Chain A
Amino acid sequence: MLVAQNITKKFSGVTALDNVCLELYAGKVNAILGENGAGKSTLMKILSGVYPDYEGKVLLNGKQVNFSNPREAQHAGIAIIHQELNLVSHLSITENVFLGREIVNSWGMLNKQAMHNKTRELLNRLKLSVGADTLVVDLKVGQQQVVEIAKALLTDCDVIIMDEPTSAISESEVDVLFEIIEDLRRENKAIVYISHKLDELFKIADRYIVLRDGCTIESGDMKGMTHDALIHKMVGRELNVIQKGDNRSADAPLLSVQHINLQHPENSKRLLLKDLSFNLFKGEVLGIFGLMGAGRTELLETIFGLNHQSANGELQVEQKAVNFKSPAEAMKAGITLVPEDRKKHGLILGLDVKTNIGLTTLETMQSFGWLNEAKEERLAKKYIEVLKIKTPSTTQTVKNLSGGNQQKVVLAKCLATGPKVLMLDEPTRGIDINAKNEIYKLIRELAADGLGVIVVSSELPEILAISDRILVMAEGNLTAEFTAAEATEDKILKAAIPNSI
């Protein structure tokens, strides 16, 4: 029903799409696959009227359409969930969901009650248990993504595009989403589903379209497709999945966390972290699993010295007691964090790759206050090489990199500090299989080099794949600890579900 013909889109520097064609069928879930930077989001932005200028045609139900802005696309019945969150943080959920399509009474005044109720319905349907009047700032990334989904579901559209809707939410929400997608399919809508989580695609998708480097490679029925076949089409070569060798050393802990508590920023009664204690050893990869809102981000942030007013407890790095008042101090002590939200906390989007990578280590690259730009350049080159960052040059503005490559830049920035302890919060969120594996391999290598690595993730397979030891959190408590050997999916999940439910 929606057809794109020979779409070509160029950005200053890169060709994002190179006459791409695709057909979307009503009543089917059309999966779009491709590595980071393949052009998936760009294509979707064209279909939904974000980029009005491009070469090629878009046909909706046979008629050529040319949207000059998102509103027109909406009216034509195309809804989109963007890859990056687009919410107004200081408006409430309701206000965000109805933004631009408010319900008004005959006086042209807002009908707040009606909007509130409708939003509550949506949130219930999506099983998100927060008040419709909650400000978006107070939501975690995961919860915000659910709000984005609610926005797309508000008006009933014929085409619903979901660009990595599950990148930030955990299994349980994913199941809810899938139920909804089933309903939509039954209502004979055309659904576009972009994700790097292949097993999801096998669960939900009917058809697949593979993009590689801005070109359509192939499309067809999901039936009879195998994991490896898809990956092959995406990547264009075989993948060697990593196997881990246990290289943790038994000696004294590298990082030891004792009885950490953390108060809620707004009411000091409520504890976000309750008396957490654990050790991290040299050469070990420690996975921390939990459902959204379990407190994992807070835990990492607290260790990193971000909440020193509201937190208490002891920290030891190599037996030396430390008390970080700022990230700067934590980094000096050899601890570094790859934050959960790369756009908000990871990157200076307006600056180039080189500057972003160098930012953490400028002190080491200066002599008498002068910056050694050659060193800076070399550093950037090195990590672009090592992490295979896809960028035209070291001076490309980070804003223009695809999601996955942006994440790699953040990683590079942290590794540049030569840390003893590397903490990663959702390190592979929105990253394609290939890059994922590279990062897993990297994590293992780093561990092998004697780093202690903490990985927070909402993806069980990921946790299982790379961890030597797994901690499970629920509602700010440590609920379980497993060694890689004894860990299984259901054991972990059982521990992750809050007993309050």
Chain B
Amino acid sequence: RNQSANNQSKKIAVIVSTLNNPWFVFLAQTAAAKAHSLGYETRIFDSQNNTALETDHFENAIASGYKAILLNPTDANGSVVNVNRAKAAGIPVFCMDREVNSANAATSQILSDSYSGSVDVGKYFVQAMHKKGKYAELLGLVSDNNTWNRSKGFHSVVDYYPGLKMVAQQGAEFDENKAMEVMESILQAHPDIEAVFCGNDAMALGAYQALISAGKAGKVKVFGFDGAADVVQSIKDGKIAATGMQFPQVMAQTAAIYADEYFKGKRDFPRKIPVSVELVTQKNVTNYIAFGKKN
């Protein structure tokens, strides 16, 4: 029928917490691409990790007639008001990757469970370290609560093992260069660390660079999070021990498809769809590609 026609009239907004990090760029672009392939006009909004800016984006999107919003929230609590604002305007919101703390604000939330993901990384960490040894942790943006979700998930496991001592916990802003510099200094203070857990893959790569220039590559195990291309490769090469693979592609596409179904009249969406984070190690790395599974 004239479906494609009335799709033309419908616009879908993709509001993403930041584009300063390839992982989110990928998430946003996949979502936009999928929605586009389903015949919708789409646009990406960059909230720059600023919930206030996200609010502006919501207002502007609503005012300029977007009919659905695929959201990657900046903050679980802060974004609630925004989602509710959209809901009030009768616009469905589909959360990707990060959740908003509200039972029924969003039409559906397709979530990557950072917490349990980092729990898995923690478990593997313990096993790889044989339950003992000194290690360091690189946090992301200390002002960003997702940083803490991952850190907490990790520690919820690791802290049970008295043999594992965290000798340094420093912030590196999810930034590769910063991570490298911080790691260089940590290695000075604690030449004897045997592992480092990084809040994301960019920092893992930075930490690895630091290890190289300190001649410690291979002697210190690096653990990351996300599943970025370079890291998947590094795991193959045995440079990086493990990472928590998230599935931005799956989440983004599901969200886009849901939006499409919503327009087609479907309403009974599952409130939450957890997309589990999978542990990628040298053993199983061959099954994975950047941000996803081989198929």
Direct contact of A and B (CB under 8 A): no
